[in-house]
Chains A and B, each alone.
Chain A
Amino acid sequence: MSGPEKMQFPDGEGIEGCEQVRELLHDFHDAELSAWQRDSVQSHLDGCAACRSSLGEIQSLAALLRSLPRQEMTRDFADVLADQIDSSGDRGRVLPFNATPALIGVAAAACLLVLAFSIPHLSNSGSVHSPQVAKSGGEGQFVDPATSEATVAEVKQNEEMEQSIERLTEASPVDQSYSTSTSSSPPVPKVVPEKVAEAKKPESVPPAVQEKAPDMVALHRVESAPAIQDKEQVQLLANEAVVAFDGDEPDNLFSQMGVGTDEDGLYAIKL
């Protein structure tokens, strides 16, 4: 016999008046009163039409909820679940069915990592549509994509690659840097890795590079627009520190995921 209402009306004390009775009507309806309380409420109800009406409303509501059609599963999970548990061992971890998106996410993460490492080498050869990169915690500001690699070591490696390409092709390096995300002016080259702030130091950064860029944040660049086709991949991107996307939006997908766009139509997820 716990609960505030029952504490107010312990057995043996009079339950008088409509106000007191109505406080007990839900419990009365739900058969949660003691025998003594139930009898007291019942005797009041016998002579009070207003309280009977209140009880009728409670009964009606409960009946309406009970009247909802019961939903039944379209298939029997017993065999499938038993097989899963059986195959995972007696006390082993059972892989939930809905872990599939997570697996897809892991696979996509691996792809992204590969992209993050490989695309810089390819994109330096002349892509006009270098994406801008939103920096985590930076109020949506876009930062220089030339500095947006997973590690400073990568930046260094990219610079070396760029130089080697320059030497081989004798072409001017492709500009991939924009001053801000919303700027409508022509892109302004800006390579200032040390200004990429609010970040942890990568463990593998050489001391010399650490001096140049003590607060380098781990950023990823994604240029594979056609590869971004489904929600799981976008969710994966949302788990990354920084994501930029340059391409056509697949079926309003990014808007549904809460991804913003700048004036140039470039999409970015800010975390």
Chain B
Amino acid sequence: MNLDLNDEALVEKFRQTKDKTLFKSLVRRYQNRIYNAAYRMLGNKEEAEEVVQDTFIKMHQSLDKFRNQASFAAWLFRISHNVSIDRLRARRRKNKSGFVLFSFNPLSTLGGDGDEERGGVVQQVADERPDPQQEIDLSEESKVIEQSLRLLPENQRAVLILHDIEGFSYQDIAEIIGANIGTVRSRLHYGRQKLKELLMPYYFDTKTKVIENERT
């Protein structure tokens, strides 16, 4: 049974046999994880589905290049991450001459690495806003967290999603985003601090609740 095989064994067997069912097993193992991560990055369900499709098509095209240096999951998420980043860049290019919404967030005082905004930021948020139609079913708390997450710079957001939501290790994330572990650590720390600032008005109420929930 395919279910008994780990990812790497499944990949190896598929490379040898080209059995479609093995490919389907790989897709079914990861399509929802990739979709979830892509949705958190892009904030759009249709685009997240397209990321899933593109990811598996690229996976199939480059499966021969997978050499087990990284885990298969990290290798696959690297493809998915790159597809998502490409889409974000394409969005930025498309909207460069379009409308730009500015938000001033006086709470934000933290910078990060690279070219992220610093201080009281004026940031482009037009593309990061969730589709109102897609938020109807979310609880208020989830909405606040989602919106705050989307206000993070995309490189910090990516690391937070990969670590705190998808559960990858620093080493795996370094391979996924193509950076060293120090960069991963830095982005994770700055991202968490910035997220904490954004959630400050809600944070202390929920903090107690969350910790209590964890203890019970």
Query: Do A and B assemble together?
Result: yes
Using CB atoms and an 8 Å cutoff, list the residues of chain A in contact with chain B.
2-5, 26-27, 30, 32, 56-73, 76-79, 81-82, 84-86, 90-91, 93-94, 96-98, 256-258
Chain B residues whose CB sits within 8 angstroms of the CB of A76 once the complex forms: 28, 31
Contact A27 B24 (CB under 8 A): no
20 contacts between A and B (CB under 8 A): A4-B186, A32-B185, A57-B207, A60-B203, A60-B207, A61-B195, A63-B211, A63-B214, A64-B199, A67-B210, A68-B40, A77-B56, A78-B25, A79-B24, A81-B24, A82-B23, A82-B27, A91-B61, A96-B50, A96-B53
Contact A81 B57 (CB under 8 A): yes
Contact A72 B53 (CB under 8 A): no
State in angstroms the CA–CA spacing of A84 and B18 once bound together: 14
The answer, yes or no, to whether B77 is at the interface (CB within 8 Å) is no
A270's nearest neighbour on chain B, judged by CB, is B97
State in angstroms the CA–CA spacing of A257 and B93 once bound together: 11
B113 CB to nearest chain A CB (Å): 11
Using CB atoms and an 8 Å cutoff, list the residues of chain B in contact with chain A.
18, 20, 23-25, 27-28, 31-32, 35-36, 39-40, 45, 48-50, 52-54, 56-57, 60-61, 95-99, 138, 141-142, 145-146, 149, 160-161, 163-165, 169-170, 180-182, 185-186, 188-189, 192, 195-196, 199, 203, 206-207, 210-211, 213-214
Contact A96 B142 (CB under 8 A): no
State in angstroms the CA–CA spacing of A66 and B165 once bound together: 5
The answer to whether residues A60 and B27 also contact, given A71-B35, A97-B53 and a CB cut-off of 8 A, is: no
B97's nearest neighbour on chain A, judged by CB, is A258
Chain A residues whose CB sits within 8 angstroms of the CB of B210 once the complex forms: 59-60, 63-64, 67
Contact A59 B211 (CB under 8 A): yes
Q: Looking at A5, A78, A79, which has the most chain B CB atoms within 10 Å of its CB?
A: A78
Among all A-B residue pairs, the 10 with the closest Cβ atoms: A258-B97, A78-B24, A78-B27, A65-B164, A60-B207, A258-B98, A3-B182, A63-B210, A98-B50, A71-B39
A153 CB to nearest chain B CB (Å): 33
B28's nearest neighbour on chain A, judged by CB, is A78
State in angstroms the CA–CA spacing of A59 and B214 once bound together: 9
Which of the residues A58, A77, A91 comes within 8 Å of B52, measured between beta carbons? A77
Contact A72 B211 (CB under 8 A): no
Q: Looking at B54, B164, B182, B189, which has the most chain A CB atoms within 10 Å of its CB?
A: B164
Contact A94 B36 (CB under 8 A): no
The answer to whether residues A72 and B35 also contact, given A60-B203, A67-B210, A86-B20 and a CB cut-off of 8 A, is: yes
State in angstroms the CA–CA spacing of A32 and B181 once bound together: 11
Chain B residues whose CB sits within 8 angstroms of the CB of A93 once the complex forms: 61
State in angstroms the CA–CA spacing of A122 and B18 once bound together: 56
Q: Looking at B32, B142, B165, B185, which has the most chain A CB atoms within 10 Å of its CB?
A: B185
Chain B residues whose CB sits within 8 angstroms of the CB of A56 once the complex forms: 207, 211
Contact A65 B31 (CB under 8 A): no
State in angstroms the CA–CA spacing of A198 and B53 once bound together: 41
